[in-house]
Amino acid sequence: MPLLVMKFGGTSVADLDRIKNAATKVQREVERGYDVIVIVSAMSGKTNELVGWVEQTSPLFDAREYDAVVSSGENVTAGLMALTLQEMGVPARSWQGWQVPINTTAQHSAARFVDIPRANIDQKFAEGFKVAVVAGFQGLGPDGRITTLGRGGSDTTAVAFAAAFGAERCDIYTDVDGVYTTDPRITSKARKLNKIAFEEMLELASLGAKVLQTRSVELAMRYKVRLRVLSSFEDTDENSGTLICAEEEIMESKVVNGVASSRDEAKITLVTVEDRPGISAAIFAPLADAGVNVDMIVQNISEKDYEDHPGSVTDMTFSVPINQVERAKRAMEEAKAAGHIAYDELVVDTEVAKVSVVGIGMRSHAGVAAKMFKALADENVNIKVIATSEIKISVLIDRKYMELAVQALHDAFGLEAA
């Protein structure tokens, strides 16, 4: 039998009516001849509620007990989904992570997959069961304790099962009907994509697109798992949603396929840092040790003291998530106090946003950067920092111009047209 993995997020299973709606979609795939593995999230809002209970009970909580509590939301959904399918005449059985078992590392609340043995679920399919409903977001650590995978872990669970079982496809059901050229809330011209390459989706996910969790896209790209993003709340067929697949499946890609944006950025500048070999390592090693995710980096000749000491000092600018600013400042201050680095001033700008254009077509087309910069210049949007990769160009700009920049770039690259 061909096998399909279907994943339903929290909004898709928020109450019993929505669980029944999701179960109807599963039943339809069974009727088409598939064995189905269904991955479910906790009901919408339930994980936050469970986390809140843990924090109220024990502010300095035991990570093992935290995982035991917060994983329970998915267990409830899995059981209810299996019961609903049984009532519809579909042979289904629910599975918690330890029952599969989903073997993970021991890092509680941020575990990673080790392996997913097929034997137990394959046996149930052989016995005539058509659907295995698996609780997402959780696994079994080497010590026999429940682990959780971090936010968005159910997406990653779905992709991991699709890879382990050689699924024909992994369908991610959510509250949007696919992947768009940009955020439809910013411009009404945003267009749903029929197909997008793994690399493009990975860049968009890492740049702020919330449709898929980054780890799930990384895993899908590694194991060539074809993903489809589609809505739980619309009638769907085999052509619905957006297919995320290998570049080879896309006949002809546009130069730029999407514009991503993120408000949650901050810019930090270390003024008059000594310009010497090893200074970059001295700055960014403490940031890495502190768990700060540095993105864009620019090094400039410092204006201060340049006439007296040309080339001897530099300004180092980098961007970090806005919720990591204090951690970054503390890491820099401690490095300075320890004598590892020296700087005159640490300047933080939290009123910035990141805007990026992404497209696999950029590999073979020149002039993308020039076109992007001209579109922003025409709108009088000043660029503070630039970062590039093979299929991406990102700029840091004043946050108040973010929507304007997204709209201008969407128009400049003709993303409204198919």
- For 342, phi then psi, to 5°, come to -140, 140
269 is in an annotated binding site: no
51 is in an annotated binding site: no
47 is in an annotated binding site: yes
The token duo for 257 is 């396929």
Q: Please, is 206 exposed, middle or buried when counting C-beta atoms within 10 Å of its C-beta (0-12, 13-18, 19+)? A: middle
CA separation for the pair 385, 373 (Å, rounded): 12
Q: Which residues contact 274 (CB under 8 A, 6 or more apart)?
A: 312, 313, 314, 341, 342
180 is in an annotated binding site: yes
211 is in an annotated binding site: yes
166-178 burial by CB neighbour count: b if 16+ within 10 A, else e? ebebbbbbbebbb
10 is in an annotated binding site: yes
339 is in an annotated binding site: no
Nearest Cα neighbor of 137 from 116, 155, 158, 154 is 154
20 is in an annotated binding site: no
Contact between 191 and 411 (Cβ < 8 Å): no
185 is in an annotated binding site: yes
CA separation for the pair 286, 299 (Å, rounded): 18
46 is in an annotated binding site: no
9 is in an annotated binding site: yes
Strand pairing report for 392-398 and 345-358: antiparallel
210 is in an annotated binding site: yes
Residue numbers in the known binding site for ATP are: 7-10, 174-175, 180, 185, 210-211
Residue numbers in the known binding site are: 7-10, 47, 74, 174-175, 180, 185, 210-211
Residue numbers in the known binding site for substrate are: 47, 74
